[in-house]
Each structure stands twice: as C-alpha cells, then as structure tokens.
Amino acid sequence: MHSKTPLNYELESRASLEAHPRFASTLSNGLDVLKCFSAAEPQLGNKEIAEMLGLTRPTVSRLTFTLVGLGYLRRDERTGKYSLGPAVLTLGYPLLVHLTLRQLAAHDMIELARYAKGPVSMAIRDRLQVVYVETVHDGASNASRPDIGSARPLLRTATGRALLYAQTPDERELICGRLAEEFPEDWERFGPSLQPAFDAIDEHGFCVVSKDWRAELCGIATPMRYRSNDLPLAFNVTIPADNLDERHVYETLGPRLRTLVKNLEYRIGIM
C-alpha cells in the first residue's frame, strides 16, 4: 500500500485497511461510534451501538466513556443513553471555515432558492458519497431539506454525477471501480447514466437527475472548476419531480445555476 496515492487510501475497503499494520482499530471504532448517531437516531445506548457495530458491550462501554470524557458524547443520566456532544462541532468547523466559497456564494444561493422554490446546496465528495457543506432553503415546503453534513449517494444524484465529472479521468476510474465493488446493484442500474450526465454537462453546463434517488425529487447540478483542499465542488438545486416542466429546467433553472457557479468562479479569479 505504500505506493498508493491519498485517493487510494481514502477509497480502500475497510477489510483491506484493517489488515494494514498501521491501522488503529481503537480509533476507528471510536469514530464508528460517533457515526452511529443521526437525525433519525439522535440518542443511543451502549446495547444499541454494540448491535449496530457488531462490537461487544464492554468494548462499546469503554469507547462511550472515553468519548464522554473528551466531550464528543453526552450521557443522559435519566435514560443512560448518549447523544453527540459539542466537541463534534469543533472537528468540522475548520473545514467549513476554510470553505470561504460558502460566504461568497451565499447571496446568489439565497436568490436562486427563492426563485426555484427549493433548496440550493454546495457539496463535496466524501469517499463514495456526497456531503453537503452549505445549503439554503426558500420559505416554501420541499420534500428535500438537506442540511450541512447531510449525505447523498454519488451514483443516484445529480450532485454526485457532477462531482464525478469534476474528478480527473484517473480519479474517476478509481472511484467508479470502488462504486462497482461496493454497490454492484446500484452500479448495474445507474452506472450507465454517468456518461449521459457527463455529456449533458459538456453541452449545457449542468446535468439533471429525476427520481433516481427519491421518486418525488429532481436534482439539477453543476460542477465547479475550482478545487478546495484538492476536493472538487458542485452546486445543486432540488425541485419536486411531479409535473416537472423540462423546458423550465433546461431553459431557466439549469442556466441560472450554471451562471451562479460561473459568477463565483469569476469572483475567485477563475476565468
């Protein structure tokens, strides 16, 4: 593994990483405990975490005790269950602060969200998924309410396909290879949709994906030419898929999203 690039390490399978002599299993287990918590599961007990991770309860008990002591978890004395602690925020804050594009794009994102009546987001790729690093909503109700830290699949979403487009050919080949290994059913079904999405970005500057991730949603996404911390970025707007007006999407919403990104690139010096 010593000759591999950072992307190789990032995409390495869990089993392969665990076999490496430099792999720190205790650190990995602690991070896995934190990842068990979500909007759907904000509070968990040691028994539930142990079942989710396939670890013994004494092992989980040691991990949660340590994480509470470090501020990454909080324990409810009444229920004995845990929830994420404030220290978790300090992990992501430096990354978000570094992404100054969030502030530069804020006004245009708000304007587009109001016009589209749907959320507008900025995203990066985290291994084999999309992660939102900024999102704004209009006042109207929408079936998709993504927030910072929300994850979406790469293959099924317009944002994911735009992020794959933004990778170099070698990077894309490596990522797609891992997607095919990790999600064979999704790869068989959605892999053939990648090239048409790339062609659409070449032709229009954006790609459109309707109902592939959720039946009620349509996503429009545009990649940026700029990389932050060597990470490709993409912007997207999400609208209801029911009664979709393709002319409106291709003649108005898509071009407005593309213009938002082009204006942002201009402001940071990418001509």
Domains 6-86 and 99-267 share a fold: no
Distance CA 258, CA 84 (A): 37
208, 251 Cβ separation under 8 angstroms: no
Closest by Cα among 167, 93, 188, 173 to 133: 93
Secondary structure element (H or E) that encloses residue 108, with its range: helix 101-116
- For the stretch 244-265, pLDDT in tens is 899 999 999 999 999 999 998 8
Q: Where are the alpha helices (DSSP H) in 183-250?
A: 184-190, 194-204, 246-248
Q: Which SS3 state, helix, strand or coil, does residue 150 take?
A: coil
Strands of the sheet containing 129-136, edge to edge, are: 151-153, 129-136, 120-126, 231-240, 217-228, 207-210
pLDDT tier for residue 269 given thresholds of 50, 70 and 90: confident
Quick: pLDDT tens for 201-211: 999 999 999 99
The residue ranking higher by pLDDT, 147 or 160, is: 160
Q: How much is the pLDDT for 15?
A: 73
The C-alpha atoms of residue 240 and residue 218 are separated, in whole angstroms, by: 6
pLDDT score of 2: 44
What local confidence, expressed as pLDDT, does residue 160 receive?
Answer: 96
Angle at 253 between CA 250 and CA 254, to 5 degrees: 55
pTM of the model: 0.76
Question: What is the pLDDT at residue 5?
Answer: 63
Predicted local distance difference test score (pLDDT) of residue 154: 93
User: Whole-number mean pLDDT of the chain?
Assistant: 88
Contact, 198 vs 120, CB < 8 A? no
Express each pLDDT in 41-63 by its tens digit: 899 999 999 999 999 999 999 99
Kindly tell me if the per-residue pLDDT of 73 is higher than 70: yes
Overall size of the chain counted in residues = 271
Indicate the domain borders of the chain.
6-86, 99-267
Looking at the domain covering 6-86, what would its CATH class be? mainly alpha
Distance (Å, whole) CA 53 – CA 45: 12
Q: What distance lies between CA 183 and its chain's CA centroid?
A: 16
pLDDT more than 70, % of the chain: 90
| pLDDT tens digits along 80-102 | 999 999 888 777 766 665 567 78
Q: Give per-residue pLDDT as tens, 116-144.
A: 999 999 999 988 999 998 899 876 555 55
Q: What is the pLDDT of residue 1?
A: 42
CA distances from 171 to 25, 65, 224 (A): 27, 39, 16
Distance CA 102, CA 239 (A): 21
Distance, in Å, from the CA atom of 120 to the CA atom of 236, rounded to the nearest integer, reads 6
Does residue 25 carry a pLDDT above 80? yes
Q: Is the pLDDT of residue 161 over 90?
A: yes
CATH of 99-267 among 3.40.710.10, 3.40.47.10, 3.40.50.720, 3.30.450.40: 3.30.450.40
> What percentage of the chain reaches a pLDDT higher than 90?
61
Task: Give helix 25-35 / helix 46-53 axis angle, nearest 10°.
Answer: 110
